[in-house]
Amino acid sequence: MENTQTLHLLQIAPAVKPPLDEVFRPAYLAHKHFAAAVQKSGQAVSLKFALERSGGQFSVFSTQTFPEGHAEIGQAQRYAERILKFLLWQRGSGKIYVLGPDSIVAYLQKTYGANGARAFDADFMKGVYEKKTFEIIGVSEKDFPKTTEVSSPVGRHLGGCRIGFDAGGSDRKVAAVIDGKEVFSCEVVWEPKLQSDPMYHFNGIDDSIRRAMEHLPRLDAIGVSSAGIFIDNKTRVASLFRKVPADLFEKHIKTLYLDIAKKWGNVPVEVANDGDVTALAGAMSLNVQPVLGIAMGTSQAVGYVDDKGHITGWLNELAFAPVDYADNAPVDTEWSGDKGTGVQYFSQDAVIRLAPKAGIELDAKLSPGDKLKKVQDLLRAGDKRPLPIFETIGVYLGYALAQYAEFYNLQNVLILGRVTSGEGGTIILETAQKVIKAEAPHLSDKIKINLPDEASRRVGQAIAAASLPAISKD
């Protein structure tokens, strides 16, 4: 493993410092500083990644780096690994073609190999794309694949009597919608990540559907927003069900939402990643596109609607994507074991992690959702201690959005989720805007950050989810 203490080009202190995180080293500044050093060297060479997905689609990302044999090739290796890590969780792939110095290709192959530091990421991608091996292949310019991506329309079906269900890690939200108008919505606390019995999940979802049905004359369709990866409305990977044994997952969870729809009259059902539904909610409510939606709840959920109003087929699982290159950045202990990834910065975990630094001690017996609520209640009551928590998250967000703009056509951003509830959401938004103005002024007028009203922040995804399925009456 490389000695990260020597990676001075990637350890750049921010001009706008997070009040509660003095060691934060934004990925955006690392990329900016690295690119400047490469250009100053006068020896820049191409570094390109082509990520292959199902159906022969290729997503290409291009940057530059130092040449083979350069004194800074170790930093170039680390830079390439962080870029690839981001691309994997943004776009997804089980087979990557790399054009660049041989030592960088070899470093990536080792790092993402069976015993490498990024073995988790490789194994995850193998599962998603049903591949026996995860491959990183060095290629020449003439053999490098061309971009072949296809986007597809999503949601916006408003006719009929619909139910939208949003499966969160701390609560489940449901909305009853008639011809595009919400007639009922509610939230119910649950703990899906702690439950191994599939019936707990089925019964919880069924209970939410029943509550919504009490306000509808009939049911025409069910739309579902959930963390995870879904193909053909079947659960492929989802953290909500991680306690369910593999055999029970295959038997009950894989077709969970199809089974729910069958119980309620075999109505049409459409399941989408909660990040994509967040982006869809933004596009629908703001009547703009493209939109990057960021839901800050149990984890960080991200979705993207392009300039056509379509989804791209990308994973957009930025909870696993690096945003902080500090040596001692917080570690994602639950899943990847990596440092500085989004889940520790844009979720209730961030609030809980920062609370002690703000002088707030939280009862260890409380659930994560209740710990977040405790901090928000203190802020609502006029306690000043929570203020730097949300300011710190706002600084994180500002730098992350500048970084995201390298990988997305970023114009409109919608932030919502439990972490953005109350005054905290406003603090996060305003602080992020200050960061962008100070550190990425070229993006200040281009990127508009939107915070919906309080009700939409909490149940907006469920309402957008209701529009997912197409029915004959549309």
DSSP string, 272-313: EEHHHHHHHHHHHHHT-SSEEEEEESSSEEEEEE-TTSEE-S
The residues of the chain that CATH labels 3.30.420.40 are: 151-466
Angle ∠(248,233,341) on CA atoms, nearest 5: 80
- Looking at the predicted structure, is the pLDDT value of residue 284 above 90? no
- Looking at the predicted structure, is the pLDDT value of residue 313 above 90? no
Strand, coil or helix: what is 139?
A: coil
Mean pLDDT taken over the chain = 92
Q: What is the pTM of this model?
A: 0.87
- Convert the pLDDT of each residue in 363-392 to its tens digit: 999 989 899 999 999 999 999 999 999 999
Tokens matching residue 164: 């939208």
Q: Report the pLDDT value the prediction gives residue 4, as an integer from 0 to 100.
A: 43
Hey, what amino acid is at 308?
K
Rounded Cα distance between 111 and 83, Å, is 13
Q: Report the pLDDT value the prediction gives residue 443, as an integer from 0 to 100.
A: 97
Q: Report the pLDDT value the prediction gives residue 73, as an integer from 0 to 100.
A: 95
- Residue range 43-143 forms a domain whose CATH class is alpha beta
- Convert the pLDDT of each residue in 442-469 to its tens digit: 999 999 999 877 545 444 667 788 999 9
Confidence tier at 1 by pLDDT (50, 70, 90): very low
C-alpha 427: how far from its chain's center?
A: 21
CB of 219 within 8 A of CB of 213?
A: yes
Q: In 3D, which of 200, 157, 195, 198 has the Cα closest to residue 179?
A: 157
CB of 48 within 8 A of CB of 75?
A: no
Tokens matching residue 464: 């957008």
Hey, what amino acid is at 277?
V
Topology of domain 151-466 in CATH is Nucleotidyltransferase; domain 5 (3.30.420)
> Strands of 95-99's sheet, edge to edge?
57-65, 45-53, 95-99, 135-138
Instruction: With both helix axes pointing from N to C terminus, report the angle between 73-91 and 27-41 in degrees, rounded to the nearest 10.
Output: 130
Instruction: With both helix axes pointing from N to C terminus, report the angle between 73-91 and 102-111 in degrees, rounded to the nearest 10.
Output: 50
Cα-only R_g, the chain: 22
- Looking at the predicted structure, is the pLDDT value of residue 7 above 80? no
Segment 15-39 mean pLDDT? 97
Segment 154-163 mean pLDDT? 90
Q: Report the pLDDT value the prediction gives residue 232, as an integer from 0 to 100.
A: 84
Type and span of the H or E element at 171: strand 171-178
User: Which of left, alpha, beta for 241 (phi over 0: left; psi -120 to 50: alpha)?
Assistant: alpha
- SS3 of the chain: helix, strand, coil, percent, to 5: 45, 20, 35
Strand, coil or helix: what is 266?
A: coil
Rounded Cα distance between 312 and 22, Å, is 37
Q: Report the pLDDT value the prediction gives residue 263, as an integer from 0 to 100.
A: 96
The DSSP line for 212-260 is HHTT-S---EEEEEESSEEETTEEEE-GGGTTS-HHHIIIIITTHHHHH
The residues of the chain that CATH labels 3.40.140 are: 43-143
C-alpha dihedral sign at 38, 88, 137, 62: negative
Q: What is the DSSP letter of 385?
A: T
- Looking at the predicted structure, is the pLDDT value of residue 126 above 70? yes
Q: In 3D, which of 199, 273, 193 has the Cα closest to residue 241?
A: 193
Hey, what amino acid is at 189?
V
Lowest mean pLDDT among 116-120, 169-173, 367-371, 458-462: 458-462
CA atoms within 13 A on the CB side of 235: 29
Instruction: With both helix axes pointing from N to C terminus, report the angle between 387-404 and 368-380 in degrees, rounded to the nearest 10.
Output: 110
Rounded Cα distance between 416 and 335, Å, is 23
% of residues, the chain, pLDDT over 70: 96
Instruction: List residues bridging with 270 in a β-sheet.
Output: 223
Residue appearing with tokens 């060297």: 41
- Looking at the predicted structure, is the pLDDT value of residue 273 above 80? yes
Q: Are strands 310-311 and 152-153 parallel, antiparallel or unpaired?
A: antiparallel
Rounded Cα distance between 71 and 81, Å, is 18
